[in-house]
Structure 1
């Protein structure tokens, strides 16, 4: 049986609408059958420090940060970690925005659609459009109302 390797993405949205942080870890069982959950880091650039001083004021260029600028960048860094550490197994990605768990190939597909959609009718939500968000998925107002009848 092949090992499973999970690239786990998390997102944090701060008080400011533009403040979106992406974090990633690689979860797997190592050769001793111990569970590993390795947080992935990247070096921060001077350009990031200069352009976003409020966010990175305590950093110096080259210091590691767990924060990535996009979920795609985070997946690429996790994939590099898997390759560098010669991890073998089936790779899945959990946490791609508005998607469930995907294979690595699906998550890296340029055709991947991550727009928020109604889980019943598939309608794509527009910016600021009302919706009902449930653990099983989001519903548009029309589908929510029809489910209440």
Structure 2
């Protein structure tokens, strides 16, 4: 299965799988295009535990610029992969390419790029920066 996608979970700085491996098919052709690992309670708890540890043990909680920087890096990563995300959505969901393009670009803007910008603004403002720490 050359060129197939394997969707795993990023938890606590590692890519992990889960016991439930499932195939992913192109709905237009029926061809298997990859596999994904259907996370359950164990993966969810590991993710919550990792996030809680990061929140308590790192400057994330108290330094808005740390959050802004992380979101900015995430936004840059999404932006550099927009074409691949559109192609994946188009292929895996059978969504018309135009709709997939709209969905990916607007989701990235609303869920990643705009919040990153807001955190950068609040981190730069003494008043808003204090509000983020309360």
**TM-score, normalised relative to structure 2:** 0.25
**TM-score, normalised relative to structure 1:** 0.23
Choose between structure 1 and 2 for higher RCO, CA contacts under 8 A separated by at least 6 residues: 2
Q: Which protein has the bigger strand share? A: 1
Q: Which protein has the bigger helix share? A: 2
